[in-house]
Amino acid sequence: MISFVATPIGNLKDITLRALETLREADAVFCEDTRHTLKLLNAYEIRKPLYACHKFNEREAAERMIALSREGKKIAVVSDAGMPVVSDPGNEVCRVLREAGEAYTVLPGACAFVCALVLSALPADRFTFIGFLPNKAGEKRGLLERYRTARETLIFHSAPQDVEKDVAAMYGVFGERRACAVREITKIHEESRQFLLSEGLSGEKRGEYVLLVEGAAETESALNALSEREHILHYMAQGLDKKEALKRAARDRGVPKSQLYPFSVDL
C-alpha cells in the first residue's frame, strides 16, 4: 500500500496518531528533502530508509514506489511540510500511480492555506487556492487576470523575497482590496496581519507567507466582466463625461487610465 501522509507545517506536535503509525510501519519513506524528513522521524525515534521524491524525479520515484509496493512493501510519501501534492511534489506521482492502476490512499493532516484562511477572518464560505505565482511579471499578471472578477477569497503562497512584488501585482490587477498576510503558522511567532493592497505589507519579510485577498464586489465583478469599451459606455450612459467614465472604469479594473484610453477614442 502507498500512503500520502500530511506532516506538520511548523509545530512537530501537529502530527496525527495515524500518521505516526503509518510512518513506523512503512518499509520506505519517499520525501521531498531527506534531511528535512529525517528531523521529523528522529523526533519520534523512527528509523526508515529514505528516498528522494522531488519535482525533478517524480516519475522515477513513482516507478520505484510501484515496484516496492508490488513486492508487498508499505510506502509512505511525505513533503517537507503539510499535505503532499498541494504546492509540493506528488501530483506527477499520483498520475503515474493512476496510469499503472496502483492503489494509494491519503492520511489527512496539517495544511497551511486552510489554517491561514481561518486566521485571516476573510470570507471562508467560498475560496480559491492559487498557490505560488509565476516569477515573470507578464505571466504573473496573466494568471491574476483570470481571477480579477472572482467573488470568492483568493489564496496564494509567497516566498519572503517575492511578497512585495506579488502584492504590487495584485494591486495592479485587482485594485483596492482587503488582504491578509499569514506567516509562521503553528510556531511561536505566528502572525496574521490585515492590510490594504494599496498599502502593501510593511516591515521585514521573514518566513513563508500565505497571502489572502478578498474577492471582487458583486457590482465590480459584473462590470469587470464587460469589455473595456462596454465598461466605459456603462458610465457614460449614467451621464458622466468620457474622461470621468474612463477614470471610473480604470479604477474598477485596477489599471492605469492610459491602458483603457484606446478603447474610448471613438466614443
Q: What is the pLDDT of residues 166-223, one digit of tens each?
A: 999 999 888 889 999 999 999 999 999 999 999 999 999 999 999 999 998 876 667 7
Q: What angle do CA 140, 257, 137 make, to 5 degrees?
A: 15
24 by Cβ neighbours in 10 Å (0-12 / 13-18 / 19+) ranks as middle
- Lowest mean pLDDT, pick from 6-20, 85-99, 196-210, 245-259: 245-259
Q: What is the CATH number of domain 113-219?
A: 3.30.950.10
Question: Given a cut of 80, is residue 224 above it in pLDDT?
Answer: no
3-class secondary structure, 121:
coil
DSSP 161: G
Q: Where in the chain is the domain with CATH 3.30.950.10?
A: 113-219
Count of CB atoms situated within 10 Å of the CB of 63:
14
Residues linked to residue 30 through DSSP beta bridges, in sequence order: 51, 77
CA 226 – CA 10 distance, rounded (Å): 44
CA 238 – CA 76 distance, rounded (Å): 62
pLDDT in the model for residue 22: 98
What is the chain's mean pLDDT, rounded?
93
Would you say 77 and 6 are in contact if contact means Cβ atoms under 8 Å apart? no
Q: Integer distance in angstroms from the first to the last C-alpha of the chain?
A: 66
pTM: 0.81
Of the options 3.10.105.10, 3.40.50.2300, 3.40.1010.10, 2.60.40.10, the CATH number for the domain spanning 2-110:
3.40.1010.10
